[in-house]
């Protein structure tokens, strides 16, 4: 498994579960992407997908603290 730290764009992703045992709970992960644009595209596509049981609330650049997607 490749560490997320090897990617140039390191972000913190906050997601909120919309169904299942975790419904209503939020969870944060650190992830790596090749660019800010890739992180935003991923977050938007996952949030709109009916195949996942969560929505991405916030994507924040770990280095700068800038919110790339959502609101803080």
Q: What percent of the chain has pLDDT over 70?
A: 92
Show me where the domains of the chain are located. 8-65
Sequence-ordered strand ranges (E) for 1-72: 9-17, 26-33, 54-61, 67-70
Cβ 67 vs Cβ 60: under 8 Å: yes
Calpha distance 62→15 (Å, rounded): 16
Write out pLDDT tens, residues 35-63: 999 999 999 999 999 999 999 999 999 99
- Give yes or no for residue 20 having a pLDDT over 70: yes
Quick one: pLDDT at residue 6?
86
């Amino acid at each position: 498994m490749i560490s997320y730290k090897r990617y140039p764009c390191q972000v913190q992703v906050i997601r909120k579960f919309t169904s299942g045992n975790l419904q209503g709970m939020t969870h944060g992960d650190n992830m790596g992407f090749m660019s800010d644009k890739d992180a935003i595209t991923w977050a938007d596509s996952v949030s709109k997908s009916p195949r996942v049981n969560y929505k991405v609330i916030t994507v924040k650049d770990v280095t700068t603290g800038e919110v790339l997607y959502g609101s803080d």
